[in-house]
Amino acid sequence: MATDDNSLLLLNGELSVTGRLVDASNATLYANASLEDRSITCIYKPIAGERPLWDFSDGCLAHREYASYLLSHHLNFNLVPLTILRDGPYGFGMVQQWIDIDETIDLATFFSTDHPQLRSMALFDAIINNTDRKIGHLLPVNNEKVFGCDHGVTFHAEDKLRTVLWQWANQPFSELEVSMLQHARSELVGDLGRMLAPLLTDIEIEETVVRVSRLLAEGTFPLPNPDWPAVPWPAF
């Protein structure tokens, strides 16, 4: 099924909840979106089920999930599953296409490899200032394609990068990565910035531009912030 078809299903399909991911800290519901004779499995995170955080405003995590998808999609990272915002049985929230992972891939060892998709995700996380890249947030579809999920705590104005993907720290960017960062900076003050404006604060978008500019100036993957835990807990 084409991405446009899936998007229409997520947006307009009848959303029925069939289960809950009990290990998630916020309400994370397993659901189906059905329209006529078609359906798609998805994850539904209603804003009403978000747990308050000391360093993020209440009721904003779903918007950050969607902002992360928009940036990934618009800049051709293609690392975040199809994501939308919509109303549902438990109120307005984030709905994201479910990804079936390759169960034969051992995440406990995979996360620390030099896989090019993980390197791309490390760059993506540096841009969005991901403060919660756990091992379990990696979704390998096969040996070549990897998605990432759970992007609710992103785009903070302060440097809060916290991840398990530090294997490229201080390594120089490739020419392609430099080009992607240049494109990101241009788009963040253009079309992409306008798309993010309803989802993030002005200062958060401005600081995203600053982060990208700093990455370009330094020319290397970031090092851990000495004033902030480098790895999320629990790491999985």
Q: Is residue 62 part of a domain?
A: yes
Q: How many structural domains compose the chain?
A: 1
Q: What is the CATH number of the domain that holds 176?
A: 1.10.510
pLDDT tens-digit readout, 42-87: 999 999 999 888 889 877 999 999 999 999 999 999 999 999 999 9
> Exposed (0-12), middle (13-18) or buried (19+): which is 222, by Cβ within 10 Å?
buried
Domain of residue 209 covers 3-218
In which band, very low, low, confident or very high, does the pLDDT at 233 lie, cut at 50, 70 and 90? very high
Q: Is residue 227 part of a domain?
A: no
Q: Is residue 88 part of a domain?
A: yes
How high is the mean pLDDT of the chain? 95
In which band, very low, low, confident or very high, does the pLDDT at 1 lie, cut at 50, 70 and 90? very low
Q: Do residues 33 and 8 lie in contact, with contact meaning Cβ atoms separated by under 8 Å?
A: no
Q: Is residue 231 part of a domain?
A: no
- Pick left, alpha or beta for residue 127 (phi over 0 → left; psi -120 to 50 → alpha; otherwise beta): alpha
Please state, in angstroms and as integers, the Cα–Cα distance from residue 218 to each residue in 106, 163, 173, 175, following that order: 34, 20, 9, 14
So what's the pLDDT on residue 2?
56
Q: Is residue 230 part of a domain?
A: no
Q: Do residues 121 and 156 lie in contact, with contact meaning Cβ atoms separated by under 8 Å?
A: no
Q: What is the mean pLDDT of residues 154-173?
A: 98
So what's the pLDDT on residue 25?
80
So what's the pLDDT on residue 178?
98
Is the predicted pLDDT of residue 134 greater than 80, yes or no? yes
Q: What torsion, rounded to 10 degrees, do the Cα atoms 199, 202, 207, 210 define?
A: 110
Q: Is residue 201 part of a domain?
A: yes
Q: What is the mean pLDDT of residues 85-99?
A: 97
- What pTM, to 2 d.p., does this model score? 0.96
Q: Is residue 228 part of a domain?
A: no
Separation between Cα atoms, residue 112 and residue 211, nearest integer Å: 24
Q: Is residue 12 part of a domain?
A: yes
Separation between Cα atoms, residue 201 and residue 208, nearest integer Å: 11
pLDDT tens-digit readout, 2-34: 567 899 999 999 999 999 987 888 899 999 999
Residues contacting 162, CB < 8 A, separation 6+: 130, 131, 132, 133, 228, 229, 230, 231, 232
Q: What is the mean pLDDT of residues 173-190?
A: 98
pLDDT tens-digit readout, 137-153: 999 999 999 999 999 99
So what's the pLDDT on residue 173?
98
Provide the token pair at 30: 């397993």
pLDDT tens-digit readout, 182-231: 999 999 999 999 999 999 999 999 999 999 999 999 999 999 999 889 99
